[in-house]
Amino acid sequence: MVKRRNNASGIHRLRINNEVIKDLKLIEDYILDFYINLYVESISNVPDTSNMEDSIGTFIPALVSSEENMMLIKCLDCLEINNVVFNLNGNSAFYPDGFSGVFYHSSWEIIGTDVCNVVQQFFKQNWVLPEMNSNVVSLIPKIQGVDSIKDYRPIVVTNFKFKIISRILADRLALVVARIIYPKQYGLVQSRQI
């Protein structure tokens, strides 16, 4: 059943340079090259700021106080992490590591200490384990009868542990974002509407 559904939802043909390609290996290589080139181009267009690092405080005002900054970067205790885990949707899709939120919810007594240690390690050392930040990109068709790579929307599925850290950071930023984002930027602040 799963194999049939996966087979039906795959990309079996794609228009490349006005030619319809059905060879799965060619399609795979083309999609990979398309996204690599897309993001390499985006990165190469970023201006060089290495010589501005020393003077960045001159151009950008300090909008976050020292106290707020400490709140943003402070390490959490296991109770806080527990609350975040159980507030995340357990019924969402499986993650790249194969574990959904339901697994974390139902196995918390066994894995909770290890999960807390991983999350706390991020806040103490400011880096995340590379395996934890592995993602799966799914291409979702924007319209019916898709035959061009530009007609797909890439959706990224991250590991649940990474989602825990993201939620913690988002919740913390929500406390200061309304004050530091320009009032006309509606889409970035939850309480603002266009």
Confidence of residue 1 (pLDDT cuts 50, 70, 90): very low
Are 27 and 100 found together in one domain? no
Are residues 135 and 42 located together in one domain of the fold? no
Residue 82's pLDDT is 93
Rounded mean pLDDT, 107-124: 92
Number of domains in the chain: 2
Full residue range of the structural domain in which residue 123 is found: 61-194
pTM of the predicted structure, to 2 decimals: 0.66
- Same structural domain, 21 and 88: no
Tokens linked to 85: 């885990």
Q: In the chain, what percentage of residues exceed pLDDT 90? A: 14
Pairwise CA distance, residues 142 & 156, whole Å: 15
pLDDT band (50, 70, 90) for residue 81? very high
Q: Residue 3: pLDDT above 70? A: no
The predicted structure's pLDDT at residue 11: 85
Asked whether residue 170 is domain-assigned, the answer is: yes
Could you tell me which residue, 146 or 181, shows the higher pLDDT? 146
The residue type found at 144 is Q
What mean pLDDT do residues 146-167 have?
85
- Taking residue 159's Cβ as centre, other Cβ atoms within 10 Å add up to 21
Answer yes or no: do 145 and 193 share one domain.
yes
**Are 28 and 70 in the same domain?**
no
Q: How many whole angstroms separate alpha carbon 167 and alpha carbon 83? A: 11
| Nearest one of 34, 29, 153 to 21, comparing CA atoms | 29
- pLDDT for 65 equals 84
Share of the chain above pLDDT 70, in %: 75
In a domain, 76, yes or no: yes
CA dist 117 and 111 (Å) reads: 10
- 11 with 31, same domain: the answer is yes
Mean pLDDT of 35-51: 68
* 115 and 29 inside one domain: no
How much is the average pLDDT of 184-193? Answer: 63
Residue 128 and residue 172 share a domain: yes
Looking at this protein, which amino acid is placed at residue 121? Q
Q: Are residues 12 and 94 in the same domain?
A: no
Together in a domain, 76 and 46? no
With respect to residue 56, please indicate whether it lies within any of the assigned structural domains. no
Q: Using 50, 70 and 90 to split pLDDT, how confident is the model at 130?
A: confident
Q: Is residue 188 part of a domain?
A: yes
Rounded to 10 degrees, the C-alpha dihedral 104/107/111/116 comes to 50
Q: Indicate if 22 and 75 belong to the same structural domain.
A: no
Angle at 21 between CA 152 and CA 41, to 5 degrees: 50
Cα separation values, 10 from 5, 15, 24, Å: 9, 15, 10
Beta bridge mates, 137: 156
* 55 falls within a domain: no
- Same domain flag for 79 and 140: yes
Tokens 């060619």 locate to 26
